[in-house]
Amino acid sequence: MTIYNTLTRQKESFEPLHPPYVGMYVCGPTVYGDPHLGHARSAISFDILFRYLLHLNYRVRYVRNITDVGHLENDSDDGEDKLLKKARLEQLEPMEVAKYYTDRYHDMMDALNVRRPSIEPTASGHIMEQIEMVQQVLDAGYAYVVNGSVYFDVAKYGAHYHYGILSGREVDKLLSATRDNLEGRDEKRHPADFALWKRAQPEHIMRWRSPWSEGFPGWHLECSAMGRKYLGEQFDIHGGGMDLQFPHHESEIAQSQIASGQPPCRYWMHNNMITVNGQKMGKSLGNSIMLEDFFTGHNPLLAQAYTPMSIRFFILQAHYRSTLDFSNEALQAAERGLRRLLEAVQTLSTLTPTPTAVAPEATGANAAAVAEIVEKVFAALDDDLNTPVAIAHLFDAVRLINAVNDKKEPLSEDAVTVLKELFDEVMVNILGLRDDRQASGQVGLLDGLIRMILDVRATAKANRDFATGDRIRDELTRLGVAVKDTKEGSVWSMVNG
């Protein structure tokens, strides 16, 4: 198997540190809001890697974190923690917000048939490991304390190592760009320095005791600490979205290099972003689409509802390192393509093989064609998980299956068996595709009915008929439907479902 190593900017033959064991860490969600299409792309991209490594008979320890503390509003370390902001707006405890949106993330990923990781640690559950790493960086002389906060000294690090090795940025340029404007900016010696530990302001709810202050860890620290705890000081693969290359992954490399004496991993892999009609997807641009919107169709940018497998198949039709452009036309095309594959699998299950003696030459030629398709599918997956090429070769098999079914081509029993094994292993086990059309229709019906009930409840509350509103909520709860009131309206989810 070859993978594209972001660090070296080239494809490399993958060899695990300790075969047959593979250590794999992927940056997970920050749980202050519902997952969107970008979350789906990252999760599905590394789900394919996880599944393919298992196909290759590796044992895989897959760690994907949950960020429930320390993620600031911007990269300058002086913004507001997004989770705390959400908790304040909704008048909830921060961990209530984290638990709710973690469950929502799991529900959406389960719908997309994304396998759960081996370990899913939370930042708040590993404060001691993070404090230990901060102390190691301080002891090595690459960090400094100011007013109870601890900052990594990027300039000192840059004198001995390459800060910016993933993104290609140069430390001197990062520092000189803002050196003249340092006075009064903040506590840092240089704007490129990043927080390892932040002293909590009085209003900051999430805080822990440390040798330097009551505070909380910097965002970049959690992945380094948890990756080291569960995978060792250096592991095989670190993945995440391309938007995390700088500063998150650059900072991970720097603090791990100093604390552990070596970079955290051997291979870096990054999935690219999703655009909407050529424009970057984002809340500020008004073109961000939540995954639930895709499943229900309740978004003005969507022409219809889409099944989770249509979303998954749409994502797999582009290479994980390529930009993926969303449009209704592209999703509808993916829906049609997936239907063709599913129908071919159904046809294959009832296909009548042709006795070799009836048409020996044609049967032999088609058997060779099947063998070539199998070889090309796995060659594509071996080549840096090239799912669009692998899928294109699956469609070559679809055309042959349909031709055999229409009695236009013969196919031996052995060749039919090979095709069944190919679709079962690749389509089901590796690509993770399944037929969810009927189930999705039932979910859409359920969503419509519950939303209609919630509309009745909203009308009752608007008319100050709170008894009716409470009765509707309590009855839904009894039926296993949890209702959560937000500033944007009521949302629902299945309890333990």
The full set of domain ranges for the chain reads 2-271, 276-430, 437-494
Which residues lie across from 3 on neighbouring strands? 12
For residue 446, what pLDDT is reported?
66
Cα separations in angstroms, 307 against 291, 333, 434: 10, 13, 11
Q: What topology is assigned to 276-430 in CATH?
A: Isoleucyl-tRNA Synthetase; Domain 1 (1.10.730)
Distance CA 127, CA 39 (A): 25
- Whole-angstrom distance, CA of residue 37 vs CA of residue 327: 12
Give me the residues of the chain with pLDDT under 70, please: 70-80, 175-185, 282-284, 357, 437-447, 487-488, 491, 493-497
Beta strands 265-271; 235-241: pairing state: parallel
Cα atoms found within 13 Å of the Cα of residue 291, Cβ hemisphere only: 26
User: Chain centroid to CA 72: how far?
Assistant: 19
Q: Which amino acid is at 251?
A: S
Query: For residue 444, what pLDDT is reported?
Result: 57
The burial of 174, by beta-carbon neighbours within 10 Å (0-12 exposed, 13-18 middle, 19 or more buried), is given as buried
Q: 111: burial class by Cβ within 10 Å (0-12, 13-18, 19+)? A: buried
Calpha distance 398→346 (Å, rounded): 11
> How far apart are the C-alpha atoms of 313 and 334, rounded to whole Å?
6
Alpha-carbon distance 334 to 390, whole Å? 15
Tell me the CATH class for 2-271. Answer: alpha beta
Nearest-angstrom CA–CA distance, 316 and 385: 10
pTM: 0.86
Strands 10-13 and 324-326: unpaired
Phi, psi of 85 (to 5 degrees): -60, -45
